[in-house]
Amino acid sequence: MKNGYDLIIVGGGVLGTFHAYHALKHALKVALIEKDRTPQSATVRNFGQVVPSGMNSKWQAYGRRSLRIYKEIQEAFDISVRQEGSVYFAANEEEVQLLEELHRINQNNQYTSVLLTKEECLERYVGLRSDYVKAGLFFPEEIMVEPRLMVNKVHTYLKAVGLDLFLQNTVLECNKLSEGVEVYLSGGKTLLASKVIICNGSEFKTLYPRLFEESDLEVSKLQMMQTKPQGNFTLPSSILTGLSIRRYESFAECPSYHEIKAREDQDSLIKKWGVHILFKQATDGSVIIGDSHQYADAHRMDDLGTDLNMDIDDFIIQEAKKIIDLPTYDIQRRWPGFYSQCKTSDIYRNTIDDDIHVVTGIGGKGMTGSAGFAEENIAKIFNLQHA
Summarised one tens digit per residue, pLDDT across range 144-171 is 999 999 999 999 999 999 999 999 999 9
Query: In this predicted model, what pLDDT tens digit does every residue of 363-384 receive, in sequence order?
Result: 999 999 999 999 999 999 999 9
* Residue 336 pLDDT greater than 90, yes or no: yes
Query: In this predicted model, what pLDDT tens digit does every residue of 341-363 receive, in sequence order?
Result: 999 999 999 999 999 999 999 99
- What is the sign, positive or negative, of the torsion defined by CA atoms of 254, 359, 86, 77? positive
Pairing of strands 331-342, 217-227: antiparallel
Q: How far is CA 177 from CA 31, 188, 207, 222, 349, in A?
A: 18, 19, 17, 40, 21
Dist CA 12 CA 36 (whole Å): 9
* Residue 331 pLDDT greater than 60, yes or no: yes
- What is the sign, positive or negative, of the torsion defined by CA atoms of 372, 375, 376, 381? positive
Query: In this predicted model, what pLDDT tens digit does every residue of 166-209 receive, in sequence order?
Result: 999 999 999 999 999 999 999 899 999 999 999 999 999 999 99
* Residue 267 pLDDT greater than 80, yes or no: no
- DSSP 8-state class, residue 108: H
Q: 284: cis peptide before it, omega within 30°?
A: no
**Burial state string for 225-259 with b = 16 or more CB within 10 A and e = fewer than 16:** bbbbbbeebebebbbbbbbbbbbbbbbeebeebee
Position 1 confidence tier, pLDDT thresholds 50, 70, 90: low
Is the pTM above the cut of 0.85? yes
For residue 161, what are the contacts with CB-CB under 8 A and spacing of at least 6? Answer: 24
Query: In this predicted model, what pLDDT tens digit does every residue of 43-92 receive, in sequence order?
Result: 999 999 999 999 999 999 999 999 999 999 999 999 999 999 999 999 99
Number of neighbours of residue 147 by Cβ within 10 angstroms:
24
Dist CA 193 CA 177 (whole Å): 10
Burial (CB count within 10 angstroms: exposed 0-12, middle 13-18, buried 19+), residue 314: exposed
